[in-house]
Amino acid sequence: MNKSLKIKQSLKLTLEKRKLQTPFVFQLKLQNLSKSDIDTLNRLFLEAKWFYNFIIADIKNRLNSKSEKLKKVEVKTPNGFEERKLKTLSSQIKQGIIERIRNNLKSLNKLKEKGYKVGALNFKSDFKSIPLKQFGNTYKIDFKRNRIRIQGIRKWFRVLGLHQIPKNADIANAYLVKKPSGFYLYVVCFLWKEEVLKEINQKQVPLPIGIDLGVKDQLTLTTGEKFKWYVPETKRLKRLQRILARKKKGSKNYQKVKFLIQKEWEYIKNKRKDVINKVISYLKRFPFIAV
C-alpha cells in the first residue's frame, strides 16, 4: 500500500507541475552507426512489429499485463506460423507498445460513439516508432559525451542535437523513430511557461501585424512581405513512381525502389516543414496578429 500511495502522490505532484510547464520535442539523430549497430536497431524494430501484430491478432486474450513478460511470439510466414524469440525487446518497451494499443482502441471507441464506421486495428507491415516510456530506464542520455542508450541494447550511441535541450528542461518520455535517412530519438521535455514567455517577449517587435491568406502568395503581411511555402513533388519522385509500377511486387528491386521513394518523400516533407517553421518563428516576433 505504501508503494501505491507514493506512486499516486508523485503522479499528483507531476500533474500540478505540468500545469505550469509547456511541452517541447527535440530531435536527436543517431550518428556513426556501424553495420552491426544498424542490424541491432533493425532487429529491435522487427521484434516490436512481431510483438504488436501478435497482440492485436487476439486482443481479448493477449492484451494484459502478462504479455510484457513474453519472450516468444508466433509470426505468420508464407509457410505458416513460426515461433520467434524476442531477444532485444525489453519488458518496459513492451509495456509502451501495449499502452499504444490501448490508446488506439480508446480513440476508435470514441469515433464509434460519434457515429463513425470503425473497423479493427490493422496489422503493421513496418514498425517505424517505438515508445520509450521512462527517462533513466527505457533510455538514458549522457550529456557530457553526447550519447544515448536504449534499454535492451548494451551499446551507447552517439547523437547529434543534444545542445538543443536546455539545462533546466524536465525530460520525460521519448520515441525511437526509424526513417529512410536513419534513426532518430524524439525526446519530450517540459519547460517552465514563464521562462518561455520571457524569451518570446525579448525577441518581440512592439508593432502588431495583419496577415492575409491567398493562393498565389500563401501569406501576405501588412508590411508588404510575402511568403510562399508550397513545395511541389520532385521530378525524381515521379520518375521513381513510374519505375516502381513496372517492378514485380515484393521483389528485391521493388523494395529498393520503394525505399528510394520513401527517402524522396522524407526530403520533400523536411523542406515543407522547414519553410513552415521559419514562417512561424518569424511571426512569433509580433505581439498581436490579425487575420
Q: Which three cell numbers stand for residue 184?
A: 532518430
**How do residues 150-208 score in pLDDT, each as one tens digit?**
999 989 999 999 999 998 899 999 999 999 999 999 999 999 888 877 877 777 667 78
d(CA 46, CA 29): 20
Give me the pLDDT at residue 1, please. 54
Within 8 A by CB and 6+ apart from 84, the residues are: 47, 50, 72, 73, 74, 75
**φ, ψ (nearest 5 deg) of residue 189:** -125, 155
Q: Say which residues have a Cβ less than 8 Å from residue 170's Cβ, sequence separation at least 6.
A: 17, 21, 189, 190, 191
Alpha carbon of 14 to those of 39, 93, 158, 168, 193: distances in Å? 38, 22, 30, 16, 15
CA distance 203 to 166: 18
Cβ atoms within 10 Å, residue 167: 5
pLDDT for the residue numbered 230:
82
pLDDT at 73: 92
Nearest to 104 by CA among 131, 83, 132: 131
pLDDT of residue 227: 83
Residue 168 DSSP class = T
Model's pTM, two decimal places? 0.84
pLDDT digits (tens, 9 = 90+) for 128-157: 999 999 999 999 999 999 999 999 998 999
Compute the 3-state secondary structure of the chain and give helix, strand, coil in percent, each to the nearest 5.
45, 25, 30
**Nine-digit cell at 150?**
536504449
Provide block-wise average pLDDT over 10 residues at a time, the chain (291 residues). 74 84 93 94 95 92 88 88 91 94 93 88 91 93 94 93 91 94 94 82 76 83 83 92 91 92 93 88 83 84
Helix residue ranges per DSSP H, 20-63: 35-57, 59-62
Q: What is the residue extent of each domain of the chain?
A: 13-194, 204-290
The answer to whether the CB of 219 falls within 8 A of the CB of 213 is: yes
Cell 513510374 sits on residue: 242
Count the Cβ atoms, other than its own, within 10 Å of residue 263. 15
